């Protein structure tokens, strides 16, 4: 058995070293190591600032300002025209339009689709949104932040060159093939993980992950996850090539290469930011994090944290480089290409530390089922192959030796990065509240599954409110007054309609930004909801996708008329009122709010002294109704046992990958190493691990077969 495995291992290595022969290969997932670093005397890898004197990356500042100067100026004009319809003359704003950011929440494929559908409802390129008057908000926005499922739509939008949202999600029959969500994430060829095509898929994914492991960089469950995300959300996978190695499936596309995308160069896109949390060294919790661990952000330029304790950022291009005291440990061993777009999105969505715990907890309840056994095996395997952390995204810590007095992980050589919602903040608001970014308006999409029907109840935003006021007071703006708690979000109806928060600041400049809250909510017209699907639903039929998308889009453009199920014909203009309102404060003397906008604000603003009531939004149906009961998702979401089955599918998949990874995963020296290990060291692999591995997984499933020239794909569109 040992010999067999070693032979296979050698075969794998031989194959991956010839990978360069392919022009576009899944092995492009491997970072480049031992790259000659730029001149250490003149290059700044890590930028530092303080909470009281923040700076943003100059490249970010330049992009944001250039976009404001060019496309945004024109976009305001296209959206609000001269302001007459709102009761203003925009000339009087003297060009001082508010700076706006949009935040897209977590929640798996539901959140990704929710984010896409809301964006379509505020996109000037969409006819119904344009007609409603809501279309245009996207074009005047400067920032777009995403976490977890929200990071997938964010990345997808960029790496597909900013198409319209409908085309992005559903394809355009030409060069956009859509998200292919009817193809299951974990087991694209159906439940049988040993089927021929599933094996092709796993083989390709493993090939990527092992190419990375091959460089000596620690991998984890986040890496195969990152590759799965890339198949659906990046731009190189379609039905015809899904199971082939004919394309890199997004491997080699870097987050730091976003500035080379044509739409970026035309300043068409808001500045993207992903959010990820961290589990500090020594804290090995598998449940929700408290609020104090450092929260990080990923931009095309930097991996950074504006938390006062760290206040530093590293050049994203070199983010995989072992560093200490702001310098590479070895000047001829820099790492580039660590910032794979899939891995950035995978890091932001790396919830395995919680899922696996969830699985473990679920174990007792399902001890008789097959799935149960698989979960058990998985948890055993994970504990056995664990090198450092198998259930988190492993990043070399670029901030080792930085801010030693305050930064929790200053002594760590690695960071354990996890899902951006791990601390309860399910909406990536932190980066948008950073003081120096000086946003006036924050569009907060909330697609969290808080209540038993998978609707949000404000919990994510309340966590952010608490973190802002307790930990980020020195560095961030504060949240405007919100309903006191989740129950109040429910009772006021604020979670079932567009709601504006912070409409009436008492100071100038205003003491907080204006927040436009757009929750995932039941259809305003009383239809049965299709948008409150489960976070772990990993597959949607085309019809389920379409109805979900249309419902959310309709909600976004429609507003509400109190005590009815009617659309508000003025909602578009009311949204414009909210978007421009802070401009009034920038002029001296302050311009009065127009009567029209005041009427809007009376209806849409949350007034803490006189809160709205749930009765204003009557006949909203709460219970999910599957619009495509014959469809696969019905199978996954309506039946609890089968939902577990869906998760088991994912877990089985992961178990297979982990099994494969054992070969690469020795109990490596966990100490900081300046030089990456050579893979040959793995010949010392203990027989023990191989035996355990062989007990669970058929070894032949990892044989990497040669490149298939032509492959008939079993994937044809299912309707």
Q: Which residues bind ligand NAG (CB under 6 A)?
A: 15, 34, 38, 43, 53, 55, 57, 59, 62, 65-66, 69, 82, 84, 89, 91, 159-161, 175-176, 200, 203-204, 207, 235-236, 243-245, 253, 261, 282, 284, 301, 315, 317, 330, 332-333, 404, 408, 410-411, 450-451, 457, 459, 486-487, 490, 523, 527, 547, 550-551, 554, 674-675, 704-705, 707-708, 711
Is residue 265 within 8 Å of 381, Cβ to Cβ?
A: no
CA-closest candidate to residue 104, choices 377, 416, 445: 445
694: exposed, middle or buried (C-beta count within 10 Å: 0-12, 13-18, 19+)?
A: middle
- What 3-state DSSP class applies to 47? strand
Strand extents, DSSP E, 16-173 = 32-35, 46-48, 100-104, 143-146
What pairs with residue 315 in β-bridges?
Answer: 302
Kindly state the DSSP code that residue 478 receives in the 8-state scheme.
P
Residue 106 phi/psi, 5-degree rounding, is -90, 170
Give the burial class of 673: count Cβ atoms within 10 A of its Cβ; 0-12 exposed, 13-18 middle, 19 or more buried. middle
Contacts of 11 (CB under 8 A, 6+ apart): 703, 704
CA distances from 112 to 43, 138, 299, 427, 456 (A): 37, 16, 19, 12, 15
Q: What are the counts of helices (DSSP H) followed by strands (DSSP E) for the chain?
A: 22, 16
670 vs 356: CA distance, rounded Å: 23
Q: Who's near 414: CB < 8 A, 6+ residues apart?
A: 218, 388, 394, 395, 396, 397
Q: How far apart are CA 566 and CA 555, in angstroms?
A: 11
What does the block give as tokens for 599? Answer: 């009427």
C-alpha to C-alpha distance for 214 and 199, rounded to whole angstroms: 21
User: What distance in Å separates the CA atoms of residue 333 and residue 215, rounded to the nearest whole number?
Assistant: 12
Helices (H), 306-385: 341-348, 352-363, 370-385
Spatial distance between the Cα atoms of 279 and 501, rounded to a whole number of angstroms:
32
Dist. CA 210–CA 663, nearest whole Å: 9
Residue 239: half-sphere exposure toward Cβ, Cα within 13 Å: 15
Task: Tell me how far apart the alpha carbons of residues 537 and 474 are, in angstroms, rounded to a whole number.
Answer: 40
Length of the chain: 719
Tokens representing 219 are 């991998």
First to last CA, the chain: 46
CA-CA distance, 291 to 152, in Å (whole number)? 24
Torsion on CA atoms 186, 190, 196, 200, rounded to nearest 10? -20
Task: Quote the DSSP letter at residue 239.
Answer: T
Residue closer to ligand NAG (CB basis): 153 or 503: 153
Rg (CA), the chain: 25
Q: How far is the CB of 368 from ligand NAG (least distance, A)?
A: 26
Secondary structure, 3-state, 651-716: HHHHHHHHHHHCCCCCCCCCCCCCCCCCHHHHHHCCHHHHHHHHHHCCHHHHCCCCCCCCCCCCCC
User: Rounded distance, CA 270 to CA 263, Å?
Assistant: 10
């Amino acid at each position: 058995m040992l010999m067999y495995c070693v032979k296979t291992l050698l075969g794998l290595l031989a194959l991956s070293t010839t990978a360069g022969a392919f022009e576009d290969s899944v092995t492009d997932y491997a970072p480049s190591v031992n790259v000659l670093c730029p001149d250490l005397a003149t290059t700044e890898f890590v930028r530092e600032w303080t909470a009281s004197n923040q700076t943003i990356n100059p490249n970010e500042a330049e992009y944001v300002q250039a976009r404001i100067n060019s496309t945004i100026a024109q976009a305001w004009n296209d959206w609000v025209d001269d302001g007459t319809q709102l009761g203003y003359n925009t000339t009087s704003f003297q060009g001082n339009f508010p700076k706006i950011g949009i935040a897209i929440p977590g929640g798996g494929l539901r959140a990704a689709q929710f984010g896409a559908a809301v964006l379509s409802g505020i996109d000037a390129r969409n006819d119904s949104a344009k007609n409603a008057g809501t279309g245009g908000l996207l074009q005047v926005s400067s920032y777009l932040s995403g976490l977890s499922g929200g990071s997938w739509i964010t990345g997808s939008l960029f790496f597909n060159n900013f198409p319209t949202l409908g085309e992005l999600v559903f394809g355009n029959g030409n060069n956009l093939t859509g998200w292919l969500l009817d193809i299951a994430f974990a087991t694209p060829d159906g439940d049988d993980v040993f089927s021929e095509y599933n094996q092709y898929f796993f083989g390709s994914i493993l090939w990527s992950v092992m190419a990375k492991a091959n460089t000596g960089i620690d991998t984890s469950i986040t890496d195969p996850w990152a590759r799965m995300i890339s198949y659906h959300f990046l731009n190189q996978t379609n039905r015809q090539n899904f199971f082939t190695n004919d394309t890199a499936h997004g491997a080699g596309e870097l987050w730091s290469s976003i500035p080379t995308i044509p739409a970026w160069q035309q300043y068409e896109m808001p500045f993207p930011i992903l959010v990820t949390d961290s589990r500090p060294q020594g804290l090995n919790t598998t449940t929700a994090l408290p609020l104090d661990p450092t929260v990080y952000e990923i931009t095309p330029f930097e991996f950074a944290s504006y938390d006062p304790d760290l206040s530093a950022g590293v050049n994203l291009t070199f983010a995989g480089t072992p560093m200490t005291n702001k310098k590479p440990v070895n000047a001829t061993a820099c790492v580039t290409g660590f910032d794979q777009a899939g891995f950035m999105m995978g890091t932001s969505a790396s919830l395995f530390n919680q899922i696996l715990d969830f699985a473990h907890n679920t174990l007792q309840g399902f001890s008789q089922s097959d799935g149960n056994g698989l979960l058990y095996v998985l948890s055993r395997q994970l504990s056995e192959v664990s090198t450092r952390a198998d259930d988190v995204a492993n990043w070399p810590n670029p901030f080792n030796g930085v801010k030693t007095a305050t930064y929790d992980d200053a002594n760590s050589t690695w960071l354990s990065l996890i899902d951006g919602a791990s601390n309860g903040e399910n909406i990536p608001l932190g980066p948008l509240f950073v003081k120096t970014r000086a946003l006036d308006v924050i569009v907060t999409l909330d697609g969290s599954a808080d209540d038993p029907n998978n609707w949000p109840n404000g919990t994510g935003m309340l966590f952010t409110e608490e973190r802002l006021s307790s930990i980020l007071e020195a560095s961030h703006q504060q949240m405007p007054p919100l309903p006191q708690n989740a129950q109040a979000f429910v009772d006021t109806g604020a979670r079932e309609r567009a709601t504006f928060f912070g409409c009436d600041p008492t100071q100038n400049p205003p003491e907080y930004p204006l927040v436009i809250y757009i929750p995932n909510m039941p259809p305003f017209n009383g239809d049965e909801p299709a948008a409150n699907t489960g976070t772990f639903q990993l597959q949607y039929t085309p019809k389920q996708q379409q109805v979900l998308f249309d419902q959310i889009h309709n909600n976004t453009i429609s507003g509400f008329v109190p005590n009815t199920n009617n659309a508000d014909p003025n909602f578009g203009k009311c949204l414009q009122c909210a978007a421009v309102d802070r401009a009034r404060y920038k002029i001296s003397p302050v311009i009065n709010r127009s009567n029209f906008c005041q009427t809007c604000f009376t209806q849409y603003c949350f007034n803490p002294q006189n809160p709205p009531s749930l009765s204003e939004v009557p006949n909203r149906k709460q219970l999910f109704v599957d619009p495509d009961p014959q469809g696969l998702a019905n199978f996954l979401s309506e039946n609890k046992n089968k939902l577990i089955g869906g998760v088991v599918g994912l877990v089985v998949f992961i178990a297979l990958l982990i099994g494969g990874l054992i070969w690469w995963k020795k109990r490596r020296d966990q100490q900081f190493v300046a030089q990456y290990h050579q893979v040959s060291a793995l010949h010392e692999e203990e027989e023990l691990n191989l035996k355990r591995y062989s007990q669970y997984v058929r070894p032949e499933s990892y044989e990497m077969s040669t490149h298939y020239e032509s492959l008939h794909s079993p994937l044809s569109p299912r309707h």
